[in-house]
Every structure is written in C-alpha cells, then in structure tokens.
Amino acid sequence: MRKSLLRLGVVVVVGMSVAGIHQNAKAVDRSDTYRQLNLFSDVFARIRSNYVEEVEDKEMIEAAINGMLTSLDPHSSFLNAERYEDMQVQTKGEFGGLGIEVTMENGLVKVISPIDDTPAFDAGIEAGDFITALDGEAIQGMTLSEAVDLMRGKPGTTLTVTVARKGAPARFDVDIVRDIIKIRSVRHRQEGNTAYIRITTFNEQTEPGLKKAIDELTEEIGEDMNGVILDLRSNPGGLLDQAVAVADAFLEQGEIVQTRGRDPQDVQRYHARGGDLVNGLPIIVLINGGSASASEIVAGALQDYNRALIVGTKSFGKGSVQTIIPLGREKGAMRLTTARYFTPSGRSIQAEGIEPDLLVEPAKIEKYDRVGTRRSEASLRGHLDNPNGDEEDAGEEAEEELPPARKKEEDAKGDDGGDDGSDEEADAENDDDAEETADKDEADAESSTDKAIKDYQLAYALDLIKGISIMQNRSIE
C-alpha cells in the first residue's frame, strides 16, 4: 500500500513538474514577445523624433503592418481603407488601373498576366514580364503594395513602364495610359461546330456569364456542336467559389477541390452538385504560364476526372488560398494566406503548376505559297480509272487536275466538238458546282490557316476537338 502511494506521489510530482515547465515556457515566450514589441516601440519613437523629415504615424504603422504580412509570402498583404474598397470593386468586375495581375519575385514585380482588352494588354505587356521601373523609378526595394500604388492614377494619365522580358536583348520602356478597367469575365464565340469560351478572370460575373455563353452557343450550333474549348490562358484567378462553379458546370459528381489550413482538422471540401451543362461533349482546356490560382483549380479538377484534355504550357503554380479579413471601419483589411488547396486526386500544385496533357508551345505559323498547280495521280497520262465511280466522272475529274498547258490544249480540242446546247448548259452547271465546291474548300483551308497564324494553340485545340468528335461518331456507328 505504501509503495503504491509512493508511486502515485511520484507521478503527481512529475506531472506538476511538466505543467510547471510548460507554464514557464509560455511565460518566457510572452516575455520575449513583449521585448520585441518594446523594440518596435523604440524604433517607432526614434523615427518620429530623429528622421530627417516628418512622417505621419499612420503611414509608418501601415507600412510596418504591410511589411510584417509581405514577409510571410508573396500573396499576403495589408489593405488600407482605400485599397480595401478598390479590391471590393475589383471582384465585382470594374476598377481603375493598368489591367495587369502582378506578384513580387526576386525584388521585382512579375506580371502574372495582362487582362484582356485593358491598357496593359493593348500595350503588349505579356505574362512572365518583369517590371523593373515605373516612370524611371526603380522597383527594387519597394513592396508590392508600393509598386501597385504607383501603377494607379487618374484615368487618362500615362505611365512609363520599364520591362525586362526573357529573350529580349535589353530592357525596354512601354507607355501605358491608365483607364477605368471594366472586365468582361466570360467571352464566347462559335468556331465551326465548336463552342469557344474564354474566361479572363474569376469574379462575381463568371458563373452567370458561363451559363449564358453555353446557352447561346448551344442554340447557335445546335445538335452539330462537337465540343467545347475552355480558354483559361493568362487568367490570373480570382474568387474560389467561382472556380468551383465553373468546374461544377462540367462535372456530374465528385470533389472539385479541398483546402487545408494549419490545423489538420481545418479541411474544407467542395463537391459537384450534378448536371453537366454540355452533356458529356469533349472539352479541351487551354492553359499557359499566366493561368493561376482559380484557373488551376478548374484545370486540375477536370484533368483529375479525365473530363477534359489540358493543352498548352505549364501553369503558374499558385496553390494557396487567401482570406480577406476586415479590420474594422476605416481600418482596412488584411489579405492573409490561410490554406493550401489540393486537386481531387490530393495533389498540390504549389510552385509546380498544372502540367498539360499535351504540351503545345505558342508558335509562329507562316503561310506556304504553293507555286503552280497541284499534281496528283489523276493528272498523269494513262492513269487507271477509279472503279468506284463512273468512267465519265473519272475522266472529268482527271481533266480538272491537268497541268495548265495541257488543260488549255484539251479545252481547245473540246471546242471543236459538236455537243448540243443542252449538254453545254448541263456541263456549265456542273462546272459552276465544282468551282463553288473548290472555292468553299479553299476558303475553309484559308480560314484554318489564318487561325493557326493568329493563335496556333487554339487552332491545335480545334483540330483535336474535330478528331475526337470523328472517332466518337465512328465508335457509335
């Protein structure tokens, strides 16, 4: 009995010792924190009294808060009351500025992507560009917030942006006129029998804009619609719920994305609600190095479920989620990274990006000027007739393929013949039909070539959709 009590006493003493150590550790931590806060207070006081120029307390405190947040990662930052209001307007799809999504890398501002039909886009700013100076003032040493503030200004004013671009021999200046940026989140058009849908950013207009685009394209193309191209190139991201809604539009079921915070129990899962708006038609998603965040959530979900073919180049690789935390009236808010997101298969794309299923680099395509008339078997003297058709039809087809000199001779011989008027009229009609068909084929070919010259990746995707549609139809037959 005495031994048992002794053991119990030892356990109690040890337990009390551990608790005491834990409490002492907490006290040490608090003491260290207070010392650091005292250090901050000392520095703040010395700046107020000794700095060469008078500085407003508010500016110093806001700069200190922003410095604390930006030191965590490139996407956390402080939003004063004015910038917080601008951010709220931006998510609604209208704001003032140049029209570029940026981040900070190696002390320079890096362009994630220009936004379609904005001053920066029209001026030729590209995803991956580094901005090294603004109106001659070097970016090095600035915070991202300070650089963004310099980019803002009164609409109609000009900003000179110094750009460093990979492959360019030297840095160069671009003059951009500031404007009110009105973002049309979703654009669409018919490409033959294919529905082309481009999403430029994920804001409050995205989900209704996507549904409207699908409805209009379905009505325009009808039952002949062979697939959808979802263009997310140079889309810098946006609202998480809108990314979920876009992926949900093409998925019948399953998890779309999950977010995981610091606490292992802090996991949020977002699932598809059912109902594929395009009824299982083939989908190709176009991405590039400017496709980030919400764009990668959509591409990752559709890729994991084999619902879409991902085409283009590797995406940006932003796999974190930022939460906007209001700090009170007229105090602004903080943008804080609170979680990482994972695709349905459980992979994180942070700093790695989405690898496309088919790597298709942007390319410059040039037309090949064909000299002379195309020769074929039918243009050779004494060729065998095609047994599938009528001999006269085969002869007429061969005649159309004759070289110009021989065709002229044969035409001259034909003029000596004694065909009656009715036959001549029929032949003329046949020639007109053949000419119209040839003209149409040539026009289609030129259209396809023109598309490739303007946008090789899109032309590649259109050809893929056509091929997939053909193979599916054959398998059904």
Active site residue 211: no
Closest CA to 93 of 252, 209, 204, 214: 204
Task: Give yes or no for a contact between 315 and 291, defined as CB atoms under 8 angstroms apart.
Answer: yes
By CB atoms closer than 10 A (0-12, 13-18, 19+), residue 120 is buried
Token pair of 218, please? 């379905």
The single residue of 76, 234, 293, 469 carrying the catalytic annotation is 293
Task: Give yes or no for a contact between 289 and 248, defined as CB atoms under 8 angstroms apart.
Answer: no
Task: Give yes or no for a contact between 227 and 107, defined as CB atoms under 8 angstroms apart.
Answer: no
The single residue of 110, 145, 231, 318 carrying the catalytic annotation is 318
Token pair of 459, please? 């032309």
Sort strands 100-105 and 227-231 into parallel, antiparallel or unpaired. Answer: unpaired
> How far is residue 220's CA from residue 230's CA, in Å, rounded to a whole number?
17
The single residue of 86, 122, 276, 304 carrying the catalytic annotation is 304
Active site residue 73: no
CA distances from 466 to 207, 251, 280, 361, 416 (A): 27, 22, 15, 20, 48
Active site residue 293: yes
Active-site positions read 293, 304, 318
